[in-house]
Amino acid sequence: MHRAMVFQSLFLLPLLLLFSLTTATAKRLHTIPRLSPIGPRVWLDHPDQILGESVREDFETFFYNQTLDHFNYRPESYDTFLQRYLINSKYWGGANASAPILVYLGAEAPIDGDLDAVGFLVDTAVEFNSLLVYVEHRYYGKSIPFGSREEALKNASTLGYFNSAQAIADYAAIIIHIKKTLQAKDSPVIVIGGSYGGMLASWFRLKYPHIALGALASSAPVLYFDDITPQYGYYALVSKDFRGASETCYQTIRESWEEIDEVASKPDGLSILSKKFKTCNPLTDASELKNHLDSMYANAAQYNKPPTYPVNKVCGGIDGCGFGDDLLGRVFGGLVAYKGNRSCYVNEPTNQSETSVGWRWQTCSEMVMPIGYGNDSMFPPDPFDLKAYIEDCKSLYDVTPRFHWVTTYYGGHSIRLILQRFASNIIFSNGLRDPYSSGGVLENISDTVVAVKTVNGSHCLDILFAKETDPEWLVAQRKTEIKIIKEWINKYYADLSRF
Ligand SMILES: *[C@@H]1O[C@H](CO)[C@@H](O)[C@H](O)[C@H]1NC(C)=O
Ligand SMILES: *[C@@H]1O[C@H](CO)[C@@H](O)[C@H](O)[C@H]1NC(C)=O
Ligand SMILES: *[C@@H]1O[C@H](CO)[C@@H](O)[C@H](O)[C@H]1NC(C)=O
Ligand SMILES: *[C@@H]1O[C@H](CO)[C@@H](O)[C@H](O)[C@H]1NC(C)=O
Ligand SMILES: *[C@@H]1O[C@H](CO)[C@@H](O)[C@H](O)[C@H]1NC(C)=O
Ligand SMILES: *[C@@H]1O[C@H](CO)[C@@H](O)[C@H](O)[C@H]1NC(C)=O
Ligand SMILES: *[C@@H]1O[C@H](CO)[C@@H](O)[C@H](O)[C@H]1NC(C)=O
Ligand SMILES: *[C@@H]1O[C@H](CO)[C@@H](O)[C@H](O)[C@H]1NC(C)=O
């Protein structure tokens, strides 16, 4: 119930907020589509997202007294906050057997949603005899510094501790604490994450090899920084997905933007559009509608998962002409097909989710993924504008995004050359229909830094709960991942008995 609210608002609200600050310049908003293993909870995927709720009772909740600032020794660095993590020991082979520990690294959301959806750990627990741990990311859910969310999000001084380096240092401290408490010094740890959390998992393995034996990084766009990945990759893939589903659908969407602008420019145009799209409130600008549609198409592509395949649903609505066969009628048909029958659409009143608020800070400080719109897409061309992006962030927080910090701190350039001899035991998994796969590692780097990809997969599918309806290629992807992780663990046990 809580999550329904969280996920419905995810693109829309950050867009609107930035919008109000950039109305003078913005034809298109400078936002980075959020990353998350779980898509928006539209009616289409409702059934599979509550699958995990029955396993909740096997988890016990703990709070770790976490250090606010791992990297400085100023008095205020020693402040602490309580960080939430959950443990399931039902399947664990125990410390004496040095049985494995699988740790899910939380991302930009409260951990509750992940417990319900990210089932890879539970599904494989019997096979691995593993202890299961889910850790919440700082500044989300119940893991809030400074006593309250209001204080923590107050300004750049309190938000300053909200970054990925602090987050993975938190994870290191908690894993060490758990191993110590359970006297499980020799138990190998595998970290798992999806999306932004997938990036954290792969970076964790690189920075903390003494704590994690390996990482499963699902749909982690670690190369969507600086200029490593062409900035048009994301929306080119969104467009490719739609074109693959239906050429006429793709063409309709492509032509619709100009049509929207044209209608909007007429006297009374906005009220015509408001009526046509049954908006919840009268539109104040055509971009409100366009941004909403843009987010919907991106979401449908990113979370284009079986068995419903939202892209096919949207295109079914567009091609089905249930609301008239004019351009806008068809586009509205796509909206209804995606969202279901509602009393109104587009600008529903919603509260800002924690994810939109937190992720906006993260993208304004270090997670700058330059995403633009190129020529060969179904969207109007619109290159990423770093200058405008920086201005938006400065007006929001009075800080300048550190555009190069991620690649400075974690690398990314020439990844194959750099990692082939340095790194080991990382799986980069991707579904090639996921627009974020354009910034993923798609080729094998070495024997143990590998890419496991599926041509028809979308965002983070492999780490979600297994389902009866899963297609063969998804079952096979998970099997491959399990086999690879088992090899790491077996090699580790061989080493352990030798040393
Ligand atoms: C957390 O640690 C700090 C510093 O050691 C201590 O002052 C504080 O009481 C601890 N808080 C809890 C809840 O244990
Ligand atoms: C683990 O090993 C220790 C020391 O050999 C022993 O005392 C303890 O009973 C064992 N625990 C279990 C659960 O087997
Ligand atoms: C942020 O808020 C705190 C507490 O009110 C204040 O002490 C600090 O100066 C503020 N920092 C900035 C950058 O405004
Ligand atoms: C939505 O309403 C239309 C017409 O009123 C109906 O044909 C369709 O089945 C409804 N769809 C859903 C998902 O309820
Ligand atoms: C937003 O939050 C307020 C306060 O918690 C609540 O009363 C209201 O119903 C929420 N609105 C929506 C649209 O969820
Ligand atoms: C679009 O294509 C033209 C001609 O091929 C090229 O000059 C221009 O740079 C392209 N623009 C973008 C945004 O890719
Ligand atoms: C990379 O190696 C793994 C393990 O051998 C294999 O399953 C996978 O198909 C390879 N990936 C690519 C992209 O070649
Ligand atoms: C991917 O999907 C397409 C179209 O639905 C289908 O033709 C193709 O066989 C699928 N490929 C794989 C590897 O499953």
Tens-digit pLDDT profile for residues 382-436:
999 999 999 999 999 999 999 999 999 999 999 999 999 999 999 999 999 999 9
Q: Atom 8, ligand 3: which residue's CA is nearest?
A: 157
Confidence band, pLDDT 50/70/90 cuts, at residue 13: very low
Question: CA–CA distance from 488 to each of 132, 191, 197, 448 (Å)?
Answer: 18, 13, 21, 8
Confidence of residue 250 (pLDDT cuts 50, 70, 90): very high
Cα 443 from chain centroid (whole Å): 21
Both 59 and 15 in one domain: the answer is no
The domain spanning residue 211 has which CATH number?
Answer: 3.40.50.1820
Q: Is the pLDDT of residue 12 over 80?
A: no
Among the candidates 386, 415, 442, a domain finishes at 386
pLDDT range class, residue 32, cuts 50, 70, 90:
low
Q: Determine contact, residues 178/90, Cβ cutoff 8 Å.
A: no
Beta bridge partners of 132: 88, 102
**3-state SS assignment for residue 85:** strand
CA pair distance 285, 23, nearest whole angstrom: 10
Q: From ligand 3's centre to the CA of 158, what distance in Å?
A: 8
With a CB cutoff of 8 Å and minimum separation 6, the contacts of 40 are: 7, 8, 10, 11, 299, 303
Q: What is the pLDDT of residue 52?
A: 57
Is the Cβ atom of 446 under 6 angstroms away from ligand 7?
no
The residue out of 386, 415, 439 marking a domain boundary is 386
Interhelix angle for 247-265 vs 310-320, to 10°?
Answer: 70
Taking the centre of ligand 8 as the mean of its atom positions, its distance from the CA of residue 246, in whole angstroms, is 14
In a domain, 115, yes or no: yes
Atom of ligand 6 nearest to the CA of 373: 13
Domain assignment present for 357 = yes
Distance of alpha carbon 103 from alpha carbon 91, whole angstroms: 14
Within-domain flag for 122: yes
| pLDDT tens, residue by residue, 115-173 | 999 999 999 999 999 999 999 999 999 999 999 999 999 999 999 999 999 999 999 99
**Of the candidates 429, 358, 352, 364, the residue with the CA atom closest to the CA atom of residue 37:** 429
**Are 62 and 182 in the same domain?**
yes
Query: Mean of the per-residue pLDDT values for the chain?
Result: 91
The residue range of the domain holding 354 is: 1-31+231-386
Number of domains in the chain: 2
Q: Do 82 and 192 have their domain in common?
A: yes
Is residue 51 within 6 Å of ligand 3 at its C-beta? no
The answer to whether 46 is a known catalytic residue is no
Check 195, 246, 353, 377 and give the catalytic one: 195
- 4: domain CATH number is 1.20.120.980
The three-class DSSP label of residue 183 is coil
Domain ends where: 324, 354, 386? 386
Residue 199 CA to residue 193 CA, distance in Å, equals 7
293 and 213: one domain?
no
Q: Is there a domain that residue 401 lies in?
A: no
Tell me the pLDDT tens digit for each residue of 341-366: 999 999 999 889 999 999 999 999 99
**Statement to judge: residues 24 and 62 lie in one domain:** no
- Confidence category of residue 374, pLDDT binned at 50, 70, 90: very high
Same domain, 94 and 127: yes
Residue 397: inside a domain, yes or no? Answer: no
**How many Cα atoms occupy the beta-carbon half-sphere of 307 within 13 Å?**
9
158 domain-assigned: yes
Q: What is the CA radius of gyration of the chain?
A: 23
Evaluate if residue 39 carries a pLDDT over 90. no
d(CA 494, CA 186) in angstroms, rounded, equals 12
> Is the per-residue pLDDT at 20 higher than 50?
no
* Six-digit token string for 66: 């976490």
Contact 191, 105 (CB under 8 A): yes
Q: Which residue has the tokens 């509260």?
A: 351
Is 250 in the same domain as 326? yes
The response to whether residue 443 sits with its C-beta less than 6 Å from ligand 7 reads yes
Residues 79 and 181 in one domain: yes
If asked whether residues 222 and 278 sit together in one domain, one would say: no
Which residue of the set 434, 458, 462, 470 is catalytic? 434
Quote the CA–CA distance of 190 and 461 in Å, as a whole number.
19
223 half-sphere exposure, CB direction, 13 A CA radius: 21
Whether residue 215 sits in one domain with residue 67: yes
Torsion of Cα atoms, 277 then 280 then 285 then 288, to 10°: -80
Q: How far apart are CA 121 and CA 105, in angstroms?
A: 12
Q: Which ligand is nearest to the CA of 376?
A: 6
Helix (H/G/I), strand (E/B), else coil: 226: coil
Which ligand is located closest to the Cα atom of residue 94?
Answer: 2
- In this prediction, residue 56 carries a pLDDT of 87
What is the pLDDT, as a whole number, of residue 376? Answer: 85
Confidence of residue 41 (pLDDT cuts 50, 70, 90): low
Which atom of ligand 3 lies at the shortest distance from residue 158's CA? 1
Residue-level pLDDT at 25: 33
For residues 102-106, give the mean pLDDT: 98
What burial letters (b/e) apply to 79-97, b meaning 16+ CB within 10 Å? eebebbbbbbeebbeebee
- Quick one: which ligand is closest to 232's CA? 6
With cut-offs at 50, 70 and 90, classify the pLDDT of residue 17: very low
Residue nearest to atom 6 of ligand 7 (CA): 452
Helices and strands, counts by H and E, the chain: 20, 8
Q: What is the atom index within ligand 2 of the atom nearest the CA of 95? A: 1
Is residue 141 domain-resident? yes
- pLDDT band at residue 44 under the 50/70/90 scheme: very low
Residues 117 and 221 in one domain: yes
Residue 402 resides in a domain: no
Residues, the chain: 499
Residues 350 and 416 in one domain: no
Active site residue 434: yes
Q: By C-alpha distance, which of 463, 469, 437 is closest to 451?
A: 437
What is the longest distance spanned by two Cα atoms in the chain? 80
Give the residues surrounding ligand 2 with Cβ less than 6 Å away: 94, 96
Q: Is the peptide bond before 307 cis (omega within 30 degrees of 0)?
A: yes
Instruction: Give yes or no: 177 in active site.
Output: no
In 3D space, the residue among 406, 220, 299 whose CA is nearest the CA of residue 42 turns out to be 299
